[in-house]
């Protein structure tokens, strides 16, 4: 059996105290260190030296979760004191479950083992069974095709769509756990696509040097876009338009070379492929928000630069760089509205009946981009 550990501790808890707490907790469950597959804790502890040393020494991958994400996990022993200090009523139990790829409290084999070290510092360790690979839900647990959604679930979906944002500010140094990534991938693959063409390909960028080269390309295009903005150039430059360097995950989106799918594409072949890619990204966008992760689509780059940097074959088209990861807080409204760049259209400016609305000819319902608001 493989397990994941969740660890909470006082600031400055030494390695020795943490190691003792972990070994005691494992022994209580009849387990040993070789069965630990990963360790979870709260983002606040991303610089906790004892914890980092323990994980490095034991060779355990370490995942940090924001307080908002931990707070959503229902645990057997929530604590008001822990909530006051960290923003989440549970650190070790919730982090152990998330690191184990589940939110089922029954996966906890040790709920909370607390140790006060000789140094006076407290460490708390929880142990959770890792779900077998096949049992990790590919997207959601319930895939019953006849599923009937409740009013509360409907409300949750509406809420998800309303609070989804394009994010450019990310929590630096954070990570996305493997099981979360698996659910995001599942969301992408569950999207509709013309003729079931599934034309989108994703290149996960894990090479820091490549990430930096991509970021530099975006910087260059940002300057070129600013020049093209004319009187609004300075205002545009004041906007944050990407989080390529800070985000936990950087995914390059590429439209695959056309596979010749005819179904639904005889007349609008390239448009329908592009729309299918967009539909997949929207699934991902919502799934990321449901995981309490931010996602930002960055389209400021020269396609040729990305083709070269990613060694794309002829016919493949770069569509975007997706910045994904924990954020300190989500924007309350689209950032472009917050920053007075543009206003959103009301329903009446988007829906009509039976025939084209003549006032749309000039785009007069939109806030023109070349004019500042107000």
Ligand X SMILES: Cc1cc2nc3c(=O)[nH]c(=O)nc-3n(C[C@H](O)[C@H](O)[C@H](O)COP(=O)(O)O)c2cc1C
Which residue's C-beta sits nearest to ligand X? Answer: 334
120, HSE (Cβ side, Cα atoms, 13 Å): 0
Which residue has tokens 């390239």?
Answer: 270
According to DSSP, the residues that pair with 321 across neighbouring strands are 252, 298
Closest to ligand X by CB, 24 or 166:
166
Give min distance, CB of 110 to ligand X, in A. 41
Query: In sequence order, which ranges of the chain are alpha helices (DSSP H)?
Result: 15-28, 49-58, 67-71, 80-86, 92-99, 151-163, 178-189, 208-228, 233-238, 269-290, 303-309, 335-338
Closest to ligand X by CB, 22 or 241:
241
Residue pair 5/125 in contact by the 8 Å Cβ criterion:
yes
Taking each helix axis from N to C end, the angle separating 49-58 and 15-28, rounded to the nearest 10 degrees, works out to: 60
Give min distance, CB of 349 to ligand X, in A. 15
Spatial distance between the Cα atoms of 156 and 14, rounded to a whole number of angstroms: 42
Give min distance, CB of 170 to ligand X, in A. 13
For ligand X, the binding residues (CB under 6 A) are 165-166, 168, 241-242, 297-300, 334, 336
Closest to ligand X by CB, 97 or 327:
327
Closest to ligand X by CB, 103 or 299:
299
Give min distance, CB of 300 to ligand X, in A. 4
Query: Pseudo-torsion of CA 151, 97, 295, 303, nearest 10°?
Result: -130
Closest to ligand X by CB, 45 or 164:
164
Closest to ligand X by CB, 27 or 373:
373
Give min distance, CB of 334 to ligand X, in A. 3
Residue pair 144/137 in contact by the 8 Å Cβ criterion:
no
Give min distance, CB of 221 to ligand X, in A. 9
């Amino acid at each position: 059996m493989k397990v994941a550990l969740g660890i909470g501790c006082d600031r400055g808890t030494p390695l020795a105290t943490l190691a003792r707490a972990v070994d005691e907790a494992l022994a209580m469950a009849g387990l040993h260190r070789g069965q630990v597959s990963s360790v979870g804790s709260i983002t606040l502890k991303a610089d906790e030296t004892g914890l980092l040393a323990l994980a490095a020494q034991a060779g355990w991958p370490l995942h940090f979760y924001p307080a908002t994400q931990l707070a959503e996990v229902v645990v057997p022993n929530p604590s008001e004191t822990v909530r006051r200090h960290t923003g989440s009523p549970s650190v070790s139990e919730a982090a152990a479950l998330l690191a184990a790829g589940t939110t089922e409290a029954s996966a906890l084999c040790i709920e909370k083992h607390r140790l006060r070290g000789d140094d006076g510092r407290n460490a708390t360790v929880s142990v959770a069974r890792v779900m077998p690979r096949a049992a990790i839900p590919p997207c959601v647990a319930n895939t019953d095709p006849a599923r009937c959604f409740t009013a509360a679930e409907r409300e949750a979906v509406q809420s998800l769509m309303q609070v989804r944002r394009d994010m450019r500010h990310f929590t630096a140094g954070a990570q996305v756990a493997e099981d979360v990534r698996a659910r995001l991938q599942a969301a992408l693959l569950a999207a509709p696509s013309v003729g079931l063409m599934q034309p989108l390909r994703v290149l996960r960028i894990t090479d820091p040097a490549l990430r930096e080269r991509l970021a530099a390309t975006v910087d260059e295009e940002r300057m070129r876009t600013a020049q093209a903005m004319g009187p609004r150039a300075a205002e545009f430059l004041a906007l944050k338009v990407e989080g390529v360097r800070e985000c936990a995950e950087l995914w390059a989106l590429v439209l695959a070379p056309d596979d010749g799918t005819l179904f639904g594409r005889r007349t609008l072949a390239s448009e329908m492929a592009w729309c299918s890619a967009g539909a997949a990204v929207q699934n991902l966008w919502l799934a990321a928000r449901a995981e309490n992760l931010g996602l930002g689509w960055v389209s400021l780059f020269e396609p040729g630069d990305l083709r070269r940097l990613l060694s794309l074959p002829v016919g493949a088209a770069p569509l975007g760089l997706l910045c994904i990861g924990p954020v300190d807080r989500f924007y309350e409204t689209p950032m472009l509205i917050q920053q007075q760049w543009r206003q959103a259209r009301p329903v009446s400016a988007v829906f009509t009946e039976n025939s084209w609305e003549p006032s749309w000819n000039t785009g007069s319902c939109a806030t023109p981009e070349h004019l500042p608001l107000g």
